[in-house]
Chains A and B, each alone.
Chain A
Amino acid sequence: MSPAVPALYRWDGTAWRPLEGAHVAAKQDIEDLCAGPDRRLYLLIEAGEEAGDPQRLACWKDDRLYWYKGTPETAIQKNHSGTVNLYRLACDYTGLLHARTYSSPLTFPWADFDRAMDGYPQQDASAAALWALFQRLESEYYTKTGSLVAAYRNYGMTTNEVNTKRLSKSSTALQAWVKAANDSLEGTAPKRMNRLADRFSQVLEL
């Protein structure tokens, strides 16, 4: 393995400083990067020493790198077939990490992603309970949000009494669900309210 030398620098206002804890081997290319929430930096790295070697994902946070245990290939093959190279990382406002293969967009379920990171500090019981809760809530979140967006689309196309009521009903249902979800989160792990809670809170602002 070639020696680790800085590939990432931060600007301190007067000079470029190596990003603490973000050294990767000299022959490992950083193919893409994007900023995430909580001062995270997601990295797509060609992890071998030769061109064309498998890619790996990593997350820099709190001055160290956390490597995604699987390769993008293993993640992609859950739902996709064919090409496995990733391009272009991007985070949406909820903190969800996206990338694209040659032919498809790919979204990394963020809870799975965090759980799969080497050494990520989340090994206690309350964390495990929280992740389980998050995974249940996340699918519900998409269902409820999808319902609201559909209602809004209908409302935008035809503004009538029926669609207005449907919109109002979807919105009320989502807000009620968000409040309940936040209560569940607080009850499960009051000191671990984090990104998902933030994400739910944004819905309340609609």
Chain B
Amino acid sequence: MFNSRPFLFSVLVTSSLWLCVRDTCAQSYNAICTLANGDLLMVGHKNDVPLMSIYGAAWVDQPNPEQAPAKGEFRAVCTAGPGNLFLVVEDESDPKKPKIGLLLRENGLWSELPALPKGLNSVYDPVATGPGALWFRSWHTAERRTAMVHWNGTAYKELPRPDGTDEMHALLLDSDGTLIADGNMDGQAGAYRFVNGAWQPMGKAMKGLHVDRLVRLSDGTLVCSVARG
């Protein structure tokens, strides 16, 4: 009777959690993602301690992985196949030098990814097809530009950016696993697919500053919102 794998995942995760009395202390949520079983996972912090909660029939806080810092927060999250997760962690143990890192939950075990490439200290919009296939945006502070980064399971590699694009704002994995992102197109909002190591334009530019978000409707239709002047 209880052979539904998604439900099992949900219940196994919630089996070790503790119910939290909410709203009695300082907490904030930074990001939300849909798990493979359809439940929602929200991440943030409570009293400066990283916090994640899962919504099945109610929001329930989860125990943190032992690799999570004692002080800090979870900044972002994405799934990496059923049961697997990437968590973006901000370690605020040294308030003068907060450090961004990544944790991976694979087959129920958490591990810490290597430090981000030099010059990068942020992770935005992580998307993944599996533990060895993660993409995210970062910002190169010294060079004032977006960095598009790929984690292949053993190392980070920075991808090129669409021609003329210094800042990128949106990422999405197509149903076939192809990376889709925004980029400058004739000075306006454009979108690109990353194919064979290069960005290929998707149609012509849209009026506006840039594509802000990419989402997929329930019937598979790709939709984007455009930031306007």
Contacts and interface: CB of A to CB of B under 8 A. Distances in A.
A38 B221 CA distance: 12
A205 B37 CA distance: 13
B31 A88 contact: yes
A201 B203 CA distance: 41
A16 B203 contact: yes
Main secondary structure, interface of A, reads: mixed
A142 B29 contact: no
Given A41-B223, A98-B32, A105-B29, A92 B39 contact: yes
Interface residues of A, number: 52
Nearest to B213: A33
Interface string A151-178: 0110011000000000110010000000
Interface string A88-101: 10111110001010
Interface stretch (B52-60, B111-119, B132-140): B52-60
A98 B213 contact: no
Contacts of B213: 30, 32-33
A93 B38 CA distance: 5
A33 B32 CA distance: 12
B142 interface: no
Interface stretch (B1-9, B62-70, B101-109): B1-9
Given A167-B2, A206-B1, 17 more contacts: A6-B206, A7-B228, A9-B206, A10-B223, A11-B202, A30-B213, A37-B218, A38-B218, A39-B218, A88-B32, A93-B34, A104-B27, A146-B58, A156-B16, A157-B15, A171-B1, A205-B4
Interface of B: 1-2, 4, 7, 11-12, 14-16, 22-23, 26-29, 31-34, 37-40, 42, 53, 55-59, 191, 202-204, 206-208, 212-213, 215-219, 221-228
Interface of A: 5-11, 14-16, 19, 26, 29-30, 32-41, 80, 87-88, 90-94, 98, 100, 102-105, 107, 142, 145-146, 149, 152-153, 156-157, 167-168, 171, 205-206
